[in-house]
Structure 1
């Protein structure tokens, strides 16, 4: 294993020298002792042909040369526009899942090992020639014995040892960069590698992807907006996934979409509607919606329907994040920067000690130039990206769910404007957000919240009753017991004061319309009062 790791290191070093990535490092503002190393590199002692490639092109080609794991890492970097320079992020965005397929015999062997039966027993037909090949898996067409046309996705063999080795070196490089350069430290390279580690290991579990696809299909069951292929669970394993084969036009195939007279304006608007429906109505959104994973149905081009595949990366938001995000976007639309700043502090995205006036001024400085353009030319994704960059100056902690959200929004927005350049994202999104906010405060929604909390009443009531019964037990009348009671009285009164304060805070912060759902506050108030005044 150590020999393999050393070999891999030499391979990485050769690629770094070939594309002169070390020059990119020395272009950063480094300490003096590190800058001095520029002149002791042996490969720089003889004349070298000048490279005509940009820094982004050199990085992209190097990642392609290093293989699937680094390609995937480059794709992740391209989504972190809040951290990467624009020219580098644009170049890395060109990385596609265009990896040479692995041997079909290995693929068949792995499928048979996972399923426990021969391929000929599981499928009426199995095409050994893969339909497509990506960085971590490849796909074969097949037909079930029952007649359904399916695709079989299988993980590349031997990936985990390579991933472990590559991640170890990536972490080492990231830590060295953070230690040696203030500029590199601002980009948080260790956090980026941490994100990548979680993403790549999640994508290696095809049962997780199958579960995500099944949930997404259920969310859009019968919807004209989005179709998700059916999962055949009896044939799914950790390294093998079998799902319905879909037939559609790739969303970037503009010529075919035009030939079938697809309503491009409606298609672009439905993409935005799908995004907001997933984020706000379902809190379960496909977070890897690049063009390779999106198709358009050929059935009804006048009412186009999207088809989504590859649900390995899914994002979700808490109700609190949903609420604050919707309020932020609406406040942005009204240019109410004070409210935006206050919402960031209230949500805990920036420290509570942040001065609202300073944060408001920083947000205004970033956003006012953007709003000078026509609304249809304003990028939602760019706005969020600039906001996050500004918030980082005020010690905003990285919110993984918001990073996934920003990445998905950038993909959807870019795709929508590619389909229909005059797409006005604001006019599509604003009515949706306002309607969602109204529905949150509707009697039906409040009743649902009340019912959900009522389900917890028996459990809380039992806990309260048990607590009060224990506290009301008669004291043993002897001096030792009395002294013991005196020693334990003040902690109980302290607990009572905490309950009283928490109950008062909770009751005071409850919206009037939701007062019916504030029964936990009254339980805390009663319990706290009892603990304080009891003998």
Structure 2
């Protein structure tokens, strides 16, 4: 019932803001075009005082946090979304309407077990920013506290947000089940796995202790870095629904005029964003997966060597060593336009079925990519490449890999962000040297020697046990051979017994049929007044056969 009510609300919001006017109707099949043209909501006029971007933003805000997250992703793609819509969607990043201040204060006091006046020497009741999951208040720690007179921000989760999110997730799961049931193409997208992965991600974001641990790990990974700074988390003031961390003063990364006003090196800033992403993915296998502009700032210090400041680490991603390896090899092969290698790697990694014909798959990839590579590199959108590759790979039963969904989303965010900062950003040229260096470090002689040094103590410790282990393994192999021979003998006997039983069964059937046919002929002779000897003789032969074979 709750799902039906939520579905009805989505339809109501859709019609209220006339979002159907944003749909490219001319690209739809004729049947859908007719259905949209006859839809009853067309009687409701398009709101003339609101732009199309404002209508989309207000609709997403009305539908709740999951839809706001979707709008945040769209806001980082000016190469895919018109500028007027992007400018409105950027307001979703930290301008979602706040919840009541008294509720925020009650939540903080309940979580930390003290009054606001005891916890902070100053506390601003008006939030600094309000997002889909939580809002942030400025505060100052008491002078006699361990951290002194420290300026901080207090992050508070929205009250009862779990109920809204769970309702939306159940609706998404219902839609995913319908897709799996009725669409073969949708099954390749693994919608149920994607929804489950998103459930895990969004509930992790609701627990601010998880976010605090993520921020602490990222701070440790980039300790002393000129490229990225992570604010300090104050653990004694952090609980599951409240987190206190260092307040930072930076320029929002989307504020291009302010960045230009302080003579920021925009090219270096954009390139450092790409390098930070690849460092997190390949060096650390731990990456910030919610890098929309509302979560990224630029330090005001040293504009000629700009440093990013990242906040809101509720969503992070990780990759296995195998995924790291295949991803790096795929990207390098792609940059080198080695489409046969791209196809082979997709098969080796299990992303497409092992029965896929490499040459056919490579030819399809080439047909998509060659026209793109004819353009200047700065004009190539990695997002467009991914979209076209996906549509091509569907013919080869390529399935979505849920473990790579966050990575793909983050890579698209990074490219969109970089293009805003420096429109000439060449993602390919920036990323390729890093990947080549990572491959050398990972699989070169130095890496082999490092791995040898790491494993050597364990090998030395186990060396005295090796003769006994080898002897035990050989003994088990001998016993395995004996057991295998015994099993083979039993299988042979069983096969012979089955053949014997089958032959006996055939004999019984033949004898029974012969006897039955003879009796039938004898009865027919009796009815028709014919000689009975033929039927009785045949029945006798059948009975004799049965007796002999029994």
Aligning the two structures, in what range does the TM-score lie when normalised by the shorter sequence? Answer: 0.7 to 0.9
Aligned to 1:447: 449
Give the Å deviation of 1:61.
4.5
Tell me the SS of whatever aligns to 2:121: strand
Aligned length: 477
Give the Å deviation of 1:392.
3.5
Tell me the SS of whatever aligns to 2:302: coil
For residues 133-282 of structure 1, the aligned pairs below 5 Å read: 133-145=130-142, 146-176=148-178, 179=181, 190=192, 192-282=194-284
Aligned to 1:525: none
Decide whether aligned partners of structure 1 residues 441 and 208 sit closer, same or farther in structure 2, where only a CA change above 3 A counts: same
- CA distance in 2 between counterparts of 1:456 and 1:382 reads 48
- CA distance in 2 between counterparts of 1:426 and 1:419 reads 16
Greater CA deviation, 303-312 or 407-416?
407-416
Decide whether aligned partners of structure 1 residues 348 and 187 sit closer, same or farther in structure 2, where only a CA change above 3 A counts: closer
Decide whether aligned partners of structure 1 residues 16 and 369 sit closer, same or farther in structure 2, where only a CA change above 3 A counts: same
Aligned to 1:513: none
Describe the superposition over 1:452-473 as per-residue Cα deviations: whole angstroms up to 9, x where unpaired.
Answer: 4446546799699479559859
**Does the Cα contact within 8 Å between 1:286 and 1:313 map onto a contact in 2?**
yes
The correspondence for 1:110, drawn from 94, 107, 112, is: 107
Aligned to 1:123: 120
Give the Å deviation of 1:93.
6.0
**Does the Cα contact within 8 Å between 2:74 and 2:81 map onto a contact in 1?**
no
Decide whether aligned partners of structure 1 residues 360 and 464 sit closer, same or farther in structure 2, where only a CA change above 3 A counts: farther
Can you give the 5+ residue segments of structure 1 that lack an aligned partner in the other structure?
476-481, 493-535
Give the Å deviation of 1:395.
2.0
**Does the Cα contact within 8 Å between 1:381 and 1:406 map onto a contact in 2?**
no
Decide whether aligned partners of structure 1 residues 456 and 7 sit closer, same or farther in structure 2, where only a CA change above 3 A counts: same
Give the Å deviation of 1:350.
1.5
**Does the Cα contact within 8 Å between 2:185 and 2:394 map onto a contact in 1?**
no
Give the Å deviation of 1:427.
2.4
- CA distance in 1 between counterparts of 2:369 and 2:24 reads 32
Tell me whether 1:354 sits opposite 2:351 in the alignment.
no
**Does the Cα contact within 8 Å between 1:199 and 1:313 map onto a contact in 2?**
yes
**Does the Cα contact within 8 Å between 2:76 and 2:293 map onto a contact in 1?**
no
Give the Å deviation of 1:64.
2.6
Aligned to 2:367: 365
Describe the superposition over 1:38-85 as per-residue Cα deviations: whole angstroms up to 9, x where unpaired.
Answer: 9998x56x954468999998765533322334323554688999xxx9
- CA distance in 1 between counterparts of 2:210 and 2:466 reads 37
Decide whether aligned partners of structure 1 residues 489 and 78 sit closer, same or farther in structure 2, where only a CA change above 3 A counts: farther
Decide whether aligned partners of structure 1 residues 216 and 358 sit closer, same or farther in structure 2, where only a CA change above 3 A counts: same
Give the Å deviation of 1:408.
1.4
Q: CA RMSD in A?
A: 4.1
Aligned to 2:68: 71
Aligned to 2:329: 327
TM-score (norm. length: structure 2): 0.75
Describe the superposition over 1:318-353 as per-residue Cα deviations: whole angstroms up to 9, x where unpaired.
Answer: 222222222222212221111111111112221211
Can you give the 5+ residue segments of structure 2 that lack an aligned partner in the other structure?
143-147, 489-550
Tell me whether 1:14 sits opposite 2:12 in the alignment.
yes
Decide whether aligned partners of structure 1 residues 335 and 54 sit closer, same or farther in structure 2, where only a CA change above 3 A counts: farther
TM-score (norm. length: structure 1): 0.76
Describe the superposition over 1:151-172 as per-residue Cα deviations: whole angstroms up to 9, x where unpaired.
Answer: 1111001111222223223333
**Does the Cα contact within 8 Å between 1:30 and 1:180 map onto a contact in 2?**
no
- CA distance in 1 between counterparts of 2:486 and 2:72 reads 58
**Does the Cα contact within 8 Å between 1:220 and 1:227 map onto a contact in 2?**
yes
